[in-house]
């Protein structure tokens, strides 16, 4: 009877915990197909639901089939918590996807600079984060191509449960550790 606000953790409570790719958002001078192709290549060995959804989205939106890499020098780079990126090196070209700040640090290191500022990328990432999504930056070599928008899958019936709580006068607030906004 004394409760007026309920704080709920997002992942696993409100959502299923599996995010899926919903769109490719290229930076100026990059085509969506170019971004999708790089994102797909960086996800070929990624067995997470997110990685598989990037491969499927590239196929569905752009007709991109899984790229054949036989005969090329290929090294897959699994996701690591330390780098917050994954990807692939193909014939000496590094393709990476991951947290925006991690990809920017990677690009800065390839360029031999201390940092890279990209207001267009920051604006896209902030827009996705404010909407509750997760932005994944994608880079090929020392060029950032754009962002993959990941959305959480909401558990069935959650909207109805929240509506019932509101009718009872209880405000619901989602909290999460993966999105500071």
Residues with catalytic roles: 9
Q: Which residues contact 28 (CB under 8 A, 6 or more apart)?
A: 120
For residue 83, what is the enclosing H or E element?
none
What is the separation of C-alpha 13 from the centre of its chain, rounded to a whole number of angstroms? 20
DSSP 11: B
The bridge status of strand 85-90 relative to strand 134-140 is unpaired
Q: Which residues contact 55 (CB under 8 A, 6 or more apart)?
A: 40, 43, 44, 66
DSSP 57: H
Give the up-direction half-sphere exposure of residue 63: CA atoms within 13 A in the CB hemisphere. Answer: 0
What is the separation of C-alpha 127 from the centre of its chain, rounded to a whole number of angstroms? 13
């Amino acid at each position: 009877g004394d409760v007026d606000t309920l704080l709920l953790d997002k992942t696993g409570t409100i959502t299923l915990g599996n995010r899926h790719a919903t769109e490719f958002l290229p930076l100026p001078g990059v085509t969506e197909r170019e971004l999708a192709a790089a994102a797909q290549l960086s996800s070929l060995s990624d067995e997470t639901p997110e990685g598989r959804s990037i491969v499927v989205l590239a196929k569905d939106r752009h007709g991109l089939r899984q790229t054949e890499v036989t005969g090329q020098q290929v090294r897959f780079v699994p996701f690591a918590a330390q780098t917050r990126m994954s990807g692939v090196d193909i014939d000496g070209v590094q393709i990476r996807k991951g947290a925006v700040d991690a990809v920017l640090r990677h690009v800065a290191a390839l360029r031999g600079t201390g940092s890279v500022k990209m207001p267009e990328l920051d604006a896209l990432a902030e827009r996705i984060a404010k909407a509750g999504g997760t932005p994944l930056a994608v880079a090929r070599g020392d060029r950032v191509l754009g962002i993959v928008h990941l959305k959480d899958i909401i558990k069935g019936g959650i909207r109805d449960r929240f509506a019932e709580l509101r009718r009872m006068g209880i405000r619901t607030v989602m909290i999460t550790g993966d999105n500071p906004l």
